[in-house]
Every structure is written in C-alpha cells, then in structure tokens.
C-alpha cells in the first residue's frame, strides 16, 4: 500500500510534484519518513522521483535529513539512479557532515571530483563537499586544489566557475 507521498511521486516527475512533497513535509516534519522510504526504495522510478524533493528539502531544512545521513552515504554504494547520487551530493553541500562520516564522504566526493567518468553534477557537488571538509582540515586543502586543477581545463563552464570559487575559498582559508 502506497503512502501519500509515494502516490504523489508516482503521478510523474515535475517541479510542482517536488514542491508539493516538500511543502507537505515542511507542514508536518514527521512525514519525512514517508519521503525517505521512497528515496531508499528498490523501485527505480520511486527513488528517482523522491530524489528531487530530497535535494530541495536539504536546501530549505537540512536538519530534517540528519537522521538519514549515514544511510544516504551507504546508499551511494549501489544507487538505483544517478538522480539519487546527484541529490545526495547536493544534500551534503547544505549540511555540516558529522565527524564520524567525514572521511567516507570526503573520499567518495574526491572520487567524483577526480574521475572524469562521472556526470558534471557529481563533479561540481563533490568539489564543494570536499572543499567544505577541507576547510576544517587544512592538510586536505592542497589535495582538493590539485583535484580541482586537474578537472578545470576540461570541465564544463559550471565546473570551471565552481572550481575557481572553491579554489579561492580554499586558498583564503575563510569558511
């Protein structure tokens, strides 16, 4: 039996759908569980459609996703759809990653940043997440700067722009 959020997601992916789901959760935060059940679903379309509202929710109310953070990280092992990875990384940008997850998140994001086989969004979001973590650990800054330098010459305009911004931030040392 589908929960209400799953039924909304099943109607098809659209901005209106994503905003409707986010507004339902913002009105009643206990409904986050319904969305996250969909996000972690084995059903391809369900998790794909749930990913967009998760990304929007991260920007509006990231604390709601903190209880799911460890599972979101492990979900990157075998994501059902690129949308799940993209919106997981997008989510990480808006959160202070707990110390116990920082190493794993950093390593994964550095891989997304360093390996050209990944989609542009993975690279861009991974770059910001790595920079955020490196700002807390100055010894990591040079590694992130090197990875950014490696990707920028062949990156999209968005990757080059974000890379320049993150490099400036890393070099300045200002959070």
pLDDT given at position 120 = 93
pLDDT given at position 173 = 79
* Two structure tokens written together for 149: 């330098």
Percent of the chain residues past pLDDT 90, beyond the cut: 89
pLDDT given at position 154 = 86
| Domains identified in the chain and CATH numbers | 1-80 (1.25.10), 96-175 (no CATH)
DSSP H helical ranges for the chain: 4-10, 15-27, 32-39, 44-60, 69-75, 82-93, 99-114, 120-136, 141-151, 157-172
Please state, in angstroms and as integers, the Cα–Cα distance from residue 75 to each residue in 78, 80, 81, 114, 117, following that order. 6, 9, 11, 20, 19
Residue 22 has pLDDT above 80, yes or no: yes
Across the chain, mean pLDDT equals: 94
pLDDT given at position 27 = 97
Provide the phi-psi class of 12: left if phi over 0, else alpha when psi is between -120 and 50, else beta: left
Query: pLDDT tens across 86-144, in order?
Result: 999 999 999 999 999 999 999 999 999 999 999 999 999 999 999 999 999 999 999 99
Stronger pLDDT, 154 or 34, i.e. the higher one: 34
Residue 174 has pLDDT above 80, yes or no: no
Residue 175 has pLDDT above 70, yes or no: no
Residue 1 has pLDDT above 70, yes or no: no
Query: pLDDT tens across 66-75, in order?
Result: 999 999 999 9
Instruction: Note whether 128 and 166 are within 8 A (CB).
Output: yes
pTM: 0.92
Percent of the chain residues past pLDDT 70, beyond the cut: 99
Instruction: Note whether 146 and 127 are within 8 A (CB).
Output: no
Residue 2 has pLDDT above 80, yes or no: no
The residue with tokens 């950093």 is 106
């Amino acid at each position: 039996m589908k929960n209400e959020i799953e039924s909304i997601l099943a109607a098809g992916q659209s901005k209106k759908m994503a905003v409707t789901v986010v507004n339902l959760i913002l009105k009643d935060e206990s409904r986050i569980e319904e969305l996250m059940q969909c996000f972690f679903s084995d059903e391809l379309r369900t998790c794909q459609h749930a990913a967009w509202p998760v990304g929007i929710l991260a920007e509006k109310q990231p604390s709601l996703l903190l209880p799911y953070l460890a599972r979101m990280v492990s979900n990157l092992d075998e994501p059902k759809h690129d949308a799940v990875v993209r919106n997981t990384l997008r989510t990480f940008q808006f959160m202070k990653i707990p110390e116990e997850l920082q190493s794993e998140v950093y390593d994964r994001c550095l891989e997304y940043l360093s390996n050209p086989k990944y989609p542009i969004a993975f690279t861009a979001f991974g770059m910001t997440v790595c920079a955020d973590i490196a700002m807390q650990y100055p010894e990591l800054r040079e590694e992130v700067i090197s990875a950014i330098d490696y990707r920028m010459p062949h990156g999209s305009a968005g990757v080059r722009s974000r890379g320049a911004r993150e490099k400036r931030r890393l070099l300045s040392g200002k959070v």
